[in-house]
A and B are shown apart, each in its own frame.
Chain A
Amino acid sequence: MKIYGYKREDGRFGIRNHVIVLPTSVCSSETAVRISNLVDGTVALPHQHGCCQVGADYEQTVRTLIGLGKNPNVAAVLVVALGCEGIQPGVVVDGIKASGKPVESVVIQECGGTLKAIGKGAEVLRKMVQQASLAKREEFDIGDLMLGIECGGSDATSGIAGNPVVGFVSDMLIEAGGTAMLSETTELIGAEHILARRAVSEEVANKLLEIVDRTEQRSISMGVDIRGSQPTPGNIEGGISTIEEKSLGCIYKAGTAPINGILEYGEEPHSRGFFVMDTPGQDIESITGMLAGGCQIIIFTTGRGTPTGSPIAPVIKVTGNSSTYNKMIDNIDINAGKIIDGGVSLQECAKEIFDEMVEVCNGKLTKAELLKHNEFAIFRVGYTF
């Protein structure tokens, strides 16, 4: 099947044509936002990190920033740095440049402070945007699409309708030669043994069990009951009693395809097919990881309803709860609650979601995009020093 997108220098295809302003640290985030505000067609990705981080935590933030810049939905990147932060601008610029796309940087301490950085940045950015605006969509095979699957604000319908139907969509994409990924390791606790049976090798199965154990051990080493936040109060009100129950419902969205590999947070898959990425259950951080890994689109199932979007990718919202669809009509694109209400089969609803995904790839805006929901957060695995 053919869809239409923007061919990037590295051969990948974007389904959006964003020019992003990417701060290297919390210290340059405010300036990055102000630069972006001056130039139409741009989006800033402000965050709280990038300085006084060490080891795996530092590496993960760097990998994420570079991965977001390389994402095929991004046409060009303006990196904004303070100058003295832990994540040096050159590291991020060079990492993104490897993709061949236009990357420029502004360093606040080198150009005279806030006002001059804003002026210089806006000057660079408007040229980038004008250049990006010349890009035309061209035909590409849906096999080049990478789908990130997310669920948030789950309730009992998530495991009955929302997740199973999206699992079917994932299988359809894999069947067409594409790539999809499941994430949210916390929400595999209690269901990992089922997923592990689908791993293509013992090594992949063991890695899957290892990331789940690693996540569970975090709560155990803290001496806390994970039920302090998993399931969430909304999950519980929606009928989910334990993390095991939540997880068993969550994994339906992974469909039935063999699991080709386990990815670190923000890591790109080495081949097509189905993958699991090690991210937390917190939706925004999880989505960021999958986008840094190269996903161009997210399908997000929700039982309670959530507005979450992304600055660089369309997020299609699906609920398995008809009542929630009506209560959160501003934010939810597709009602899969009709599977429970009766009259529509899972397969029919999966076809509807797949068709919507294709339309969104071709340019149709999702509700999250229309309402400028640009939620963005990066997962940390260490302390700030």
Chain B
Amino acid sequence: MTKKALIANDRDNVATALADIKGGEMVYAHRGDQEIGILVKNPIIFGHKFALTGIKRGEEVIKYGEPIGIATEDIEQGDHVHVHNIASQRGRGDLKR
């Protein structure tokens, strides 16, 4: 695992930073046997995620090959993906009010 980012599953539309990434940096990661390059727009700290593709508002964010939440705004390729632009769909008693 010497790449700067990890794509946990081939289906994922986000990658996890394995090192601090500067805004505007080209980052390479393995998707299956292929190496893909993404221009990361924002600074991403170790462990945080960035988008591998555009994700429209309301679409699922996929990590580990599974949905981890829904985009709350349009996300562009290379954007930081975190609590500011995705939301959990589970345990949401607040939505029942």
A241 adjacent to B66 (CB under 8 Å):
no
Q: Which residues of B contact A189 (CB under 8 A)?
A: 90-91
Tell which of B24-32, B33-41, B44-52 binds the partner.
B44-52
Query: A156 with B93: in contact, given A239-B45, A244-B68 (CB under 8 Å)?
Result: no
- Cβ 8 A contact of A248, one of B1, B68, B93: B68
Interface check B23, CB cutoff 8 A: no
Interface check A342, CB cutoff 8 A: yes
B96 adjacent to A156 (CB under 8 Å):
no
Q: Which residues of A contact B87 (CB under 8 A)?
A: 242
| Docked pose: A312 CA to B20 CA in angstroms | 40
Q: Count the A residues whose beta carbon is within 8 Å of the partner chain — how many?
A: 38
B47 adjacent to A157 (CB under 8 Å):
yes
B82 adjacent to A226 (CB under 8 Å):
no
For window 46-82 of B, CB contacts with A under 8 Å fall at 46-49, 61, 63-64, 66-69, 81-82
What 0/1 pattern do residues 218 to 253 of A give for CB contact below 8 A with B?
011111111100100000101101111100110000
In angstroms, how far is the closest chain A Cβ from the Cβ of B66? 5
Q: Count the B residues whose beta carbon is within 8 Å of the partner chain — how many?
A: 34
In angstroms, how far is the closest chain B Cβ from the Cβ of A42? 41
Query: A160 with B8: in contact, given A223-B96, A239-B82, A242-B68 (CB under 8 Å)?
Result: yes
| Docked pose: A342 CA to B1 CA in angstroms | 5
In angstroms, how far is the closest chain A Cβ from the Cβ of B24? 20
What 0/1 pattern do residues 24 to 35 of A give for CB contact below 8 A with B?
000000000000
B92 adjacent to A160 (CB under 8 Å):
no
In angstroms, how far is the closest chain B Cβ from the Cβ of A236? 6
A339 adjacent to B82 (CB under 8 Å):
no
In angstroms, how far is the closest chain B Cβ from the Cβ of A245? 4
B66 adjacent to A243 (CB under 8 Å):
no
Q: Which residues of B contact A186 (CB under 8 A)?
A: 91
In angstroms, how far is the closest chain A Cβ from the Cβ of B6? 6
A160 adjacent to B88 (CB under 8 Å):
no
Q: Which residue of A lies closest to B64 (CB)?
A: A248
A225 adjacent to B92 (CB under 8 Å):
yes
| Docked pose: A157 CA to B47 CA in angstroms | 7
Interface check A190, CB cutoff 8 A: yes
A223 adjacent to B66 (CB under 8 Å):
no
B68 adjacent to A245 (CB under 8 Å):
yes
A190 adjacent to B68 (CB under 8 Å):
yes
| Docked pose: A341 CA to B19 CA in angstroms | 10
Q: Which residue of B lies closest to A239 (CB)?
A: B47
A194 adjacent to B47 (CB under 8 Å):
no
B63 adjacent to A248 (CB under 8 Å):
yes
Using a CB–CB cutoff of 8 Å, the interface residues on chain B facing chain A are 1-2, 6, 8, 16-18, 45-49, 61, 63-64, 66-69, 81-83, 86-97
30 contacting pairs across A/B (C-beta < 8 A): A156-B47, A156-B48, A156-B49, A159-B64, A160-B8, A190-B68, A191-B66, A219-B91, A220-B91, A220-B96, A223-B96, A223-B97, A225-B93, A225-B94, A226-B92, A227-B83, A227-B91, A236-B82, A239-B45, A239-B46, A239-B47, A241-B82, A241-B83, A242-B88, A242-B90, A244-B67, A244-B69, A248-B64, A303-B47, A340-B1
| A-B contacts besides A156-B16, A226-B92, A245-B64, 20 pairs, CB < 8 Å | A156-B46, A157-B47, A160-B16, A189-B90, A190-B88, A190-B90, A219-B92, A221-B93, A223-B97, A226-B91, A227-B91, A236-B82, A236-B83, A239-B17, A241-B86, A242-B83, A243-B88, A248-B68, A321-B47, A342-B2
